[in-house]
Amino acid sequence: MNDAGSERDHRPASRLQGQGRPVSFRSVLARVGWTALVIVLAVLLARSGWLAAPFGLAVLISYIISPLVEAAERRGAPRVAAIFTAYVIVVLALGFALAFVLPPLVKGLEGIVTAYLHGQPEVGFDGLADGWLTGLGIARDGAGAEIAALLVDRIERYIGSLARQAVEALSAVAGQIGNLLLAPVIAFYLTRDVHCIRESFASWLPAGCREAIMATVSAIDSALAGWVRGIAIVSAFVLLASGAVLTLLKVPYALPLAFIAGMLEAVPYFGPFLGMLPAVLMASRVSTTRAVLTVFAFGAIQQVESAVLSPKIVGDRVGLHPLAVISSLIIGGKLFGVVGLLIAVPAAAVLFIIARSLLAPDA
């Protein structure tokens, strides 16, 4: 009886050991507490724009240069020397961008706003609207004229709003140049001391949940790093390729239009279309043929991006279902506009990883 009872008592423990270490209520409570603390700190940081900007950019820089630093270390280079070399490259790139790219970019975006909000009727979208209506078999009279007028009005409002938001965002960046110049310095120390920071953070955690929390932190770090690096490469490709194409096609404001296309590439599903639309509409102000060529050119760029670059570079780094991605984009765009669209997916990925660690710690 005692042997049988002991065997029955031992059996659940064996199953638990086979499934992983039992999770106590205290351990779960500690995880919830630390998660709440991290979320509160993140909210406070986000509400302190002057502080969030340099630290956010520093994290992005650190994620981007870390593979270069690690590759140099594997070849025997000292970590500080490897970081310093990458740091100098980043500083030079930022300095070049601030001095030579940002001013004409802002001026070009302001030109787009002026062109669409105060443009002359003869260079409007009437010809483009006529072509669309003719293709649909709708005559340009009566209801057809009203549809065309509504179509032109909506298109011009969309482009004006998009360009205006881009100008406001770049103006905000220009106003924060002093703080943003701190970002490479913060990134240098962040990259150099990342292992010490990780060990110090782990030492503050309760021993009972230290391993689980650090596993969650590692999962978040891996997801964000993969997303940032992948999106940076893909966005750079789209920006350069679309800039070259628009320049060859002599589309007005090629640089700001390419910048918009590159930045919106970070928005899954909708980004490529939203990035292409301003360029196509601007090309249509030149001629219908130019607009058609722009559509084909952007289509070719997107084929290369979706078939070659994204699967190999970005892949399924964030591990979110398409419905979760679309929902996060809707919420992020509604709450924070263009910025919300850009950060919606990584933010949702972080929340998903935290929720998974709390609800299914052994998964």
Q: Could you report the per-residue pLDDT of 167-177, keeping only the tens digit for each?
A: 666 666 655 66
* 87 and 105, same domain (yes or no): yes
Q: Which residue has the higher pLDDT, 332 or 154?
A: 332
* 69 and 142, same domain (yes or no): yes
- Tell which of 179, 202, 225 closes a domain: 202
- Tell which of 202, 231, 262 closes a domain: 202
Average pLDDT of the residues in 6-11 = 44
* 268 and 220, same domain (yes or no): yes
In a domain, 328, yes or no: yes
* 226 and 330, same domain (yes or no): yes
* 306 and 351, same domain (yes or no): yes
* 81 and 181, same domain (yes or no): yes
Ranking 19-23, 52-56, 199-203 by mean pLDDT, the lowest is 19-23
* 243 and 167, same domain (yes or no): no
- Residues 276-312 have pLDDT tens digits of 888 888 888 788 888 899 999 999 998 888 777 766 6
Tell me the Ramachandran region of residue 205: left when phi exceeds 0, alpha when psi lies from -120 to 50, beta otherwise.
beta
pLDDT of 196: 87
The three-class DSSP label of residue 268 is coil
Q: How many domains does the chain have?
A: 2
* 249 and 177, same domain (yes or no): no
- Residues 253-275 have pLDDT tens digits of 888 888 889 888 887 777 888 88
Rounded to the nearest 10 degrees, the angle between the axes of helix 102-118 and helix 143-175 is 150
In a domain, 24, yes or no: no
The DSSP string of 125-153 is: SHHHHHHHHHHTT--SSTHHHHHHHHHHH
Structural domain boundaries enclosing 184: 49-202
Residue 128 · residue 151 · CB < 8 Å: no
Q: Which residue has the higher pLDDT, 320 or 174?
A: 320
* 83 and 140, same domain (yes or no): yes
Q: Which residue has the higher pLDDT, 156 or 107?
A: 107
Average pLDDT of the residues in 3-12 = 45
Average pLDDT of the residues in 137-155 = 57
* 195 and 220, same domain (yes or no): no
In a domain, 273, yes or no: yes
pLDDT of 296: 93
Q: Which residue has the higher pLDDT, 189 or 158?
A: 189
Q: Cα(331)–Cα(337) distance, rounded to whole angstroms?
A: 9
In a domain, 38, yes or no: no
In a domain, 150, yes or no: yes
In a domain, 26, yes or no: no
Is 0.85 topped by the overall pTM? no
Average pLDDT of the residues in 299-326 = 75
Average pLDDT of the residues in 26-52 = 64
Average pLDDT of the residues in 4-27 = 47
